[in-house]
Chains A and B, each alone.
Chain A
Amino acid sequence: MSAKLNDQAVHAIELARKAGASDAFATAGQSRDVEFEYRDGKLEKVKDTTSQSLSLSVYADGRYSSHSTTDLNPGRLQSFVRDAVAMTRALEPDEFREITPERLFRDLPQQDLDLVDAKVATLDREQRVAWCRALDEAARDHKRVISATAGVYDGTSRSASASSNGFAGQHEATYCWFGSEVTLRDQGDKRASDWFYAGGAHVSDLPDAAGVGQQALERALVRLDSAKGPTMKSAMLVDSRAAGSLIGRLLRPANARSVQQGQSFWAGRLGEQAFSKQLSIVDDPLIRRGLASRRYDSEGIAASVLPIIDKGVIRNIYVDTYYGRKGDMQPTTGSPSNRRVTTGEYSLQDLLAKVNNGVYVTSWLGGNADSTTGDFSLGLRGHLIENGEIGAPVGEMNVTGNLVDLFSRLDLVGNDIYPYSSTLAPSLVFSDVDFSGA
């Protein structure tokens, strides 16, 4: 794929060894990214860039540090690596630091993940502008539209990694996304707005551009006349697009570092029924054309399918090599790839009918969670659910609780995965949720 990147990574390791490192892991990367933005009938921004970088992890005298640079001038690279090794030596030794052992990368998966579409590199200005026009026309097709911005984003990234103990890997992926953001005149000075973006690794994964623009418009239109909903305790239906970020908050402390550092509500619960039986989540790096698919992680650990939660029971967390040794856990992988939430049997309509009365959340606004205790509070917008149907749009509300408690009251799971995210989540229904509003 790219001999040059591989040579750069190998060269950096040689330099590090020469400077006195006992081990090193290097990644050389390059990318091309193109961005077209089109607003209200006119091309507004064209950005076309190529970028390069080198990152290097250094192990010397029982010490460790990591470094990166975009300056690949050969002379300066040499002093960069020399500085990196010298800096490592100025630190304190750490018995838990060790380069990723060979057993963790011996068996890199070999299947084709289909992450590269040669067509992406051949996209031209005409095609991108044609998409922009189609998005723009569909997104502006309403008298309330003040402004709509369409965007097309595509590119290719490549990297090669190598280590002093024999790791060698290459990663290449393309992406192509487009979508629209629409702002409508609402009551007084208020504007209603929303967006819709679609994309994937292959151009053929893209839906019809006009349909995407239209969806953005429709999402904005249902926001018109939004008002503050009531303060109450009720059921919460989170739509599949908003569910991804809620799942992300739940999983954020599901890693060896947070656990070892005593800052995780996941600590000490491996094998426990911590959440509702409706909840199963798998980290799956091997999905064909997956947005975060990979054959190895940033430390070189071979990718494999990792069950995180199975019917509410905690099966695994993310464990990298360092915190694995420090916390006495087997390394799994240090970082999430694609997170797949197991679907249920219900359509969105079924879920609305079953909830009957409650709140339908379509997006979040701000908020946070404490990873030690799981206490959370999030701003939201969406709709009231009235007699099993989507009712009046609401906003300026918060939902507050504890993540462990919330996910133990996950009652129903939809069958409607949102595909345009690396967290593949369906709609979710929770009972007895605290809402604050008017």
Chain B
Amino acid sequence: MMKSIDASGMDFSELNRQLREAEGGAEISACLGQRFIGAGMGKRKIRIHGVPGNALGAYLNGAEIEVFGNAQDAVGDTMNAGTILIHGSIGDTAGYAMRGGRIYVRGNAGYRTGIHMKAYREHLPVIVIGGKAGSFLGEYQAGGVIVVLGLHTDGGPIVSNFPCTGMHGGKLFLRSRCEDVLFPKQVTARPASPEDMEELRGYLKEYCELLSMDLNAVLDAPFTLVTPDSANPYRQMYVAN
């Protein structure tokens, strides 16, 4: 059974203590800036009303977190498994060094989404942003998949300056022809092929279900796929020995 937690005036460590005990899941009300919510937690549902603090779901290990509003910086920092669903927008550095699981955002994302994201064997982290993304999207991305849909209605480009700086693995899908986007030299941006779109459908299916969106309508647009040029684009920067 889900436990109700009124977080008014509650310290983050007490809130997390109560969450750890709530193996049947918890619904938090009056959340206001408590950090590290759900940190490292396995299988359980956590529903949040209010504004969770930084590093929501850090090191998450299988829990499902749902936020009925905005979240702040470093959502899913180094998360391992599980799902974080945000109905509003998020701050900077979401999915920092994320190595598994899903981050789904209906609204916009701030700077450096997916920085240092990585994949390993069966672990493939996925971030889907419904609106626009700030600068340095996918900075140093080493693996996993980032999708930005650009369905925002508050103006501005789908992605700001310097996307994919230092990218050396993984994939970035942008729901745009990206004619005005300046990518760095070591990545390739090309229109998504039918096979790419089929792969993308797999990443977006759960996102659209959870947010009650029409998957076919979301897919019915030109997408650009960005990948790094080679397996080791920085080899020339170092001594080869």
Q: Do chains A and B interact in one complex?
A: no
Chain A residues packing against B (C-beta within 8 Å): none
